[in-house]
Structure formats: C-alpha cells, structure tokens
C-alpha cells in the first residue's frame, strides 16, 4: 500500500473487530506491522471509538443509506482525522486507496471520495455533544452522580489520556507534571521504552488513581503482604519497592508473566503465584492484603474506549458475587489486627459502596479506616469511609481512572 495507508487500513480493520465482532482492542491482530505503525493504528482506532457518535452525525448528513460496516469504519476514521486537523489531501486519498484494495469495497471508492470531499474544511465536531456512555451504564450513573457529572465524565473520556508514572525515589525520571498524589504525569505522545529511567527500572506506567490502593494500604518494610489479583503488576511493584515481603497471585499465567517481566526490569523482588484465589491457600497469614478485584472496569473507559462497545453489563451480577467471595476469603488470610484494601476500577456502587456495606454486615468485627492521603480532596471520601474516584476529577489535568477503594481492619 502507499505510504500512510497501511496504519490507517489496519486501524479500520481493528474497528471492524471491535464494532463488528465484539472484540476488545488488544484482542484484534494488527497484522505484520512495525511497532510504530502498530501503535499508530491502535491510536487511530481508539480515537475513532472516542468520537464515534460525532463522526456518525457528520456522515449521516452526507449518506443516503447506510454503507457496509467496513466502509463506514473507513469513513469514520477519515472524519475523525479531519476533525483533528490532519491534511485533507492525505486523509481522503488514503481512504479511497483502502477501498480500492478490497475486493468487496472497491466499488465504494467513489462514494468515499465524494462524501469526504463534501465535508467542510474545519469545525466538523463543533457543537456536537461528546460520545455518550452506553445506556446500561449511563442511566445508573446519572441517577447516582447527576447529569452534569456524567457529561463531565463523558467529556474527559473523549480525550486521549496522559501517561502516568509511579516513581522510585532517587532514580532518573522523565520531565513531567508532579501530581498531588505523588505520580508523575506526561502529556503528549511518548514511547515508553525510550524515556529516561526505563532501563534502570526507575518507574513504571500506572494511572494515578491505580497507584492509590497500595498507598492506602501503606505497606511497611518486612511485612508479609499479598497482592491478590496482581496482574499486570503495578501494585506489586509498589509493595515491593516499599520493602514488604510480597506474594503476588493471579489466575492468569500470561498476565503473571508480565508481572515477572516488570519485576526483572525494576530489580524488585516478589514471590509470584499462578492460582485461582478461590482454591489457593497461603502457608501463613499476612500482615496486609491488597485486593484489586475483577470488575466491570467501567472506571477505565478513558483508557479503554472499546469497552462500551463490547460490554453490555450482563456480567455484573457474576462479578459482584466473585468480588464478595474473594473479599471473604482474603479476610480469612489476615493476621489478627491485619488490614486489607479492597479496590475496584468501577464507577458502579454495586462494585464499591454497596459491596463495602455488605462486607461490613457479613463481618461484624470489620472496621473501615479512613487515612489521609496526599492530594485527596475531602469530598472524595464517602460517608462510610471509602474513597470514590471519578474520571472527571482533575479534568483540567486530563482526568483519572474511576475507582472505589476502602481500607479495612480485621478486629
């Protein structure tokens, strides 16, 4: 294919996989691409998913009838690129070339050319509302947080998120914005492996919100600490860097391999275990446990814009039940007076506030500890002592992942 076409063609193929086959972005093969082209294709596809409704509103003004999905996805890709200010000549030519290369799409090349050349030169998305959350998620969130808050969340989620790093003190680090909670935020595109300190294991990529559960747990040197559901390992690294004796457990072998790779890169030490936590049994109780439980991941849509198009909320009851099982089991592995941080990257109270209330009912001796953390606003704490984080917090800085976390003390 001509220069500049390959990454766009793969981006359109990735969109076909997400929107046509219900596959997550990281499950769709990008073909035989260079790392740079693969990264560009993924970024283009993710950007389209963040602006899909806006692109469709623009296109529907110029389409008499709906084209096949693969054709619409190429049009969507072109519209989003034009809205971002990409040169029209290259965008239109690439879209037409992609159509011509496909046996089933070649006869749509003229349509694609005509539609794209009919679009205004600028202001394509001006006045259009941001990409809305799916109905199954938006309705309960409007009820919980209010319409204005949900619109603010949606607005943040249309932007490509910045890159957050968790640092090891005294080691090299890139230049960036020091966040109030202790993370470092990098704005603009970055190739992670080329940043200062990468080879020395001086930091790791971790959203600022995702770094807070380990900070809330406050591991101490020499403590026996369990990181339950540990992959991809950012929290394991935090616990190990604090000097704790860490056991990292996850049910997925491939995901645990990523944890082990990060441990090697950083030179940190933890015992890694691949096992089902519902059947595994530790040799001895722990001083502290961090349970970042499997959840709907509805707090991470700013980083995973494919999620609303793949998930429908039907797995929520099973996830809530699993979280309760894991929490009950983990509490049984604590030493007397041990502490546990429960966390989910979810915006739904069933996986946060309601889950906490149910755990306190099941365990009368369990108490919630609210401890001060740098950079946390007082109104982020719930009346019950949990910490509720939302994507629209720090909106002017690029937002944060949505999380619920609570620190529990075993009586």
Q: Tell me how far apart the alpha carbons of residues 366 and 245 are, in angstroms, rounded to a whole number.
A: 24
Taking Cα atoms as reference points, which of 266, 280, 197, 198 lies closest to residue 237? 266
> Which of 345, 376, 387, 405 is labelled catalytic?
345
User: What count of Cα atoms within 13 Å lies in the side-chain half-sphere of residue 341?
Assistant: 27
Q: Kindly give, in sequence order, each residue whose CB lies less than 8 Å from that of residue 122, ignoring residues fewer than 6 positions away.
A: none
Is 229 an annotated catalytic residue? Answer: no
- Cα(41)–Cα(390) distance, rounded to whole angstroms? 28
Contacts 24+ apart (CB under 8 A), 183-192: 183/207, 183/208, 183/211, 185/397, 185/398, 186/162, 187/162, 187/398, 188/162, 190/163, 192/163
Which is it for strands 177-178 and 163-167: parallel, antiparallel or unpaired?
unpaired
- Strands 286-292 and 367-369 come out as unpaired
Secondary structure class of 165 (helix, strand, coil):
strand
Angle between helix 6-15 and 35-50 (nearest 10): 50
Residues noted as catalytic: 345
């Amino acid at each position: 294919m001509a220069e500049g076409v390959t990454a766009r063609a793969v981006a359109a193929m990735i969109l076909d996989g997400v929107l046509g086959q219900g596959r997550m972005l990281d499950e769709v093969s990008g073909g035989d691409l260079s790392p740079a082209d693969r990264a560009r294709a993924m970024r283009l596809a993710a950007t389209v998913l963040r602006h899909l409704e806006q692109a469709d509103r623009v296109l529907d003004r110029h389409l008499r009838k709906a084209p096949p999905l693969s054709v619409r996805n190429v049009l969507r890709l072109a519209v989003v690129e034009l809205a971002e200010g990409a040169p029209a000549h290259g965008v239109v030519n690439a879209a037409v070339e992609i159509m011509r290369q496909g046996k089933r799409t070649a006869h749509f090349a003229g349509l694609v050319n005509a539609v794209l050349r009919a679009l205004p030169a600028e202001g394509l998305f001006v006045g259009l509302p941001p990409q809305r959350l799916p109905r199954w998620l938006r309705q309960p969130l409007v009820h919980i947080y209010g319409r204005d808050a949900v619109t603010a969340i949606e607005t943040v989620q249309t932007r490509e998120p910045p890159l957050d790093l968790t640092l090891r003190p005294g080691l090299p680090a890139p230049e960036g914005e020091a966040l109030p909670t202790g993370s470092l935020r990098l704005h603009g595109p970055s190739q992670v492996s080329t940043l200062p300190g990468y080879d020395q294991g001086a930091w790791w990529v971790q959203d600022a919100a995702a770094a807070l559960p380990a900070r809330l747990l406050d591991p101490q040197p020499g403590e026996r600490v369990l990181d339950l559901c540990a992959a991809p390992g950012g929290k394991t690294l935090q616990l190990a860097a604090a000097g704790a004796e860490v056991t990292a457990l996850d049910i997925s072998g491939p995901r645990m391999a990523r944890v082990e790779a990060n441990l090697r890169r950083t030179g940190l030490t933890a015992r890694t275990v691949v096992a089902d936590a519902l059947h595994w049994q530790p040799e001895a109780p722990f001083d502290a446990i961090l349970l970042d439980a499997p959840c709907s991941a509805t707090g991470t849509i700013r980083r995973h814009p494919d999620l609303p198009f793949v998930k429908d909320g039907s797995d929520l009851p099973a996830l809530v039940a699993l979280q309760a099982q894991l929490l009950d089991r983990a509490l049984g592995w604590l030493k007397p007076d041990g502490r546990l941080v429960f966390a989910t990257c979810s915006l739904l109270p069933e996986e946060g506030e309601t889950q906490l209330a149910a755990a306190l009912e099941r365990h009368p001796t369990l108490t919630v500890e609210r401890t001060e953390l740098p950079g946390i606003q007082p109104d982020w704490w719930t009346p019950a002592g949990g910490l509720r984080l939302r994507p629209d917090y720090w909106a002017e800085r690029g937002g944060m992942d949505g999380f619920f976390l609570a620190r529990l003390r075993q009586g």
